[in-house]
Amino acid sequence: MRIGILTSGGDSPGMNAAIRAVVRTCVYHKIEVYGIRRGYQGMIEGDIFKMETTDVSNIIQRGGTILKTARSKEFMTEEGMQKAYDALQLHGIEGLILIGGDGTFRGAVHFFERFTVPAVGLPGTIDKDLSGTDFTIGYDTAVNTAVQAIDKIRDTAEAHDRLFVVEVMGRDAGYIALNSGIACGAEDILIPEQVTNMDDVLERIDHDEKRKKTVHIIVTAEGDDFGGSKEITQTIKDRFPDKDVRMCVLGHIQRGGSPTYADRVLASRLGYAAVEALLAGNTQVMAGIMNDKVVYTPFANVIKEEAAISDDMLEMIRVLSV
């Protein structure tokens, strides 16, 4: 049997650990494994090479992905999918392991509707926005990176009596903002899953001003419906012209860095489980961890059901921000 492996979409810390686990598990079972560079685009272009156990030595601690990654509009066309399938056939690849997020699995559903290629997915995304798993590869590292940065921002905010608006990643999902904000004691947390009432935010700032609380940290996801950190910051400045208000966009530092132990272990467990699933004929599914057990969710269900933020968490934020 020959298995192909690729990483697609946004990179996330722990992807290399997952690649390592897949390759080593394949070698153990005497399965040939082929790396596909740059995701679906590399599949279309036939950028495919055989991998050995030495190819994944000393990568478990590295961020990014040794297979590179890309987003491919061409793959969503009939012609692009045909080229991708032809490349797999040329290399004799009989199964695929896909590491990525929502877009990766959406592409997989369209591809496998047309071509019969067994595949198993791994949830590689910092956003933690996939159903069928409690955690995604890269989320723990990304949220810890955000926590470390916000802690440092609070130090300088304390020194100057400033208000900071800190923007973290999360175009459609607010998990990084939610949990980094809770962990850092943010006074306000703004996420895409909840409509932002800016009047309430301004009222809380005014309340803090009146009780001489001089530091105020607002953590916002980039996909917040009010318009992100720039709009929020300007609105606060207009309302409080005498207050020292600063903005900090953490950006892509959240994607990089050495993965935490949690992401390394998660990626290793799921990489191993993906190969075992292919061997057992359990395909067109994403491997995930729920209640500390490996579970498999069909691709169609993964993209249909969004991971929901509980109402209890949202209520806790409101209570703790007083």
Q: Which residues are catalytic?
A: 127
Report which residue type is found at 198.
M
Distances in Å between the Cα of 259 and the Cα atoms of 15, 100, 175 are 9, 16, 18
Question: Is residue 69 within 8 Å of residue 124, measured between CB atoms?
Answer: no
Q: List the one residue out of 25, 14, 29 whose CA is nearest residue 59.
A: 14
Alpha helices in the chain (DSSP H): 15-28, 39-45, 78-90, 102-114, 139-160, 175-183, 198-210, 229-239, 261-279, 299-304, 311-320
Alpha helices in 51-138 (DSSP H): 78-90, 102-114
Q: What is the dihedral of CA 91, 97, 99, 105, to 10 degrees?
A: 100
Task: Say whether 305 sits in a helix, a strand or coil.
Answer: coil
